[in-house]
Structure formats: C-alpha cells, structure tokens
Homo-oligomer: A and B are copies of this chain.
C-alpha cells in the first residue's frame, strides 16, 4: 500500500512470469486476495505458466467479469482489486508496478480473513489474531 487516496498499490511481478508482459502491455490487472484454504491452489498457480495451461480450468476457479478492466476476477477469492497502471518508471529497473485501484470488491464476512503471506522456502505465514490499540492513537494517526 503506497497511498490511500487515491488508492495506490506497488508490487513486483517477475519478468519470468507470463503475466509480466501481459500486464505491462495492457496496463491493467486484477489483484485477487485468496484466503488460506486456497493455499494449494496458490502454490499450483505459482508453479505453472499461463502460457501452457488455462489456470481457471486447471484449478477449478471461476472467472467473473470486472467492471473497469478487461482482466477477469477470481470469484473464489475474498477480495479483488481492479487496477490500472499509475506509474511505470520502476518497471525496467525493478519489475515494480505501481497500480491505482479503480474498483474494489470484498466479501462482507469474515471480518478478518485468514490471509497468506509468503516467507520464502515454501512456507506461508497465515494471519493470526488482532490487537486493537485504537484508544492509544491520536485521532489523526489512525
């Protein structure tokens, strides 16, 4: 997350990925946020190439039509962020894309999804509990 308003998200996409040239050319993408129960699908998707297989078919996922971009949403994910490229200055040097979220979709429950956070070496951290310290914040810092 690089900015809240407008909503800017930065991410690295390896130039070895089939997605790299697709999103660089189209200047659009959808970022899909899976929950932990999809971990095997996440690993399968990351270890195959869209140049060789239809990943929706292979992994039993449903493509929904997006509102603001041509790329599809993955229905089975907790949230989907339709994005347009906001800044391409760091793509050549770092494969780093800065996206503007132009439409966001998120499930209403659970309030706190079990999210996956890759830590390397085949291991994912799963989001745990939550701690609120709202009362200790100055209002403008929340």
A contact residues vs B (CB 8 Å cutoff): 1-3, 8, 10, 12, 36, 39-40, 43-44, 46-47, 87, 89-90, 93-94, 96, 98, 112, 114, 116-117, 119-138, 141-142
Which residues of the other chain, B, contact A87 by a CB distance below 8 angstroms? 90, 93
Whether A128 lies near B130 (C-beta < 8 A) is no
A126 & B124 in contact (Cβ 8 Å cutoff)? no
CB contact under 8 A between A122 and B96, given known A46-B141, A90-B90, A127-B127: no
Q: Assess the B134–A39 pair: CB atoms within 8 A.
A: no
Judged by DSSP, the binding face of A is: mixed
A128 touches B127 (CB 8 A): yes
Other-chain contact of A10, B10, B36, B134 (Cβ < 8 Å): B10
A36/B131 contact (C-beta < 8 A), A3-B94, A44-B136 known = yes
Contact of A47 with B136 in the complex, beta carbons under 8 Å: yes
A111 to nearest B CB, angstroms? Answer: 10
Q: B8 touching A2 by the CB < 8 A rule?
A: no
Given contacts A87-B90, A123-B134, 14 further A-B contacts (CB under 8 A): A2-B96, A10-B96, A39-B131, A39-B133, A40-B136, A47-B138, A112-B125, A121-B134, A122-B142, A123-B132, A125-B128, A125-B129, A128-B128, A128-B129
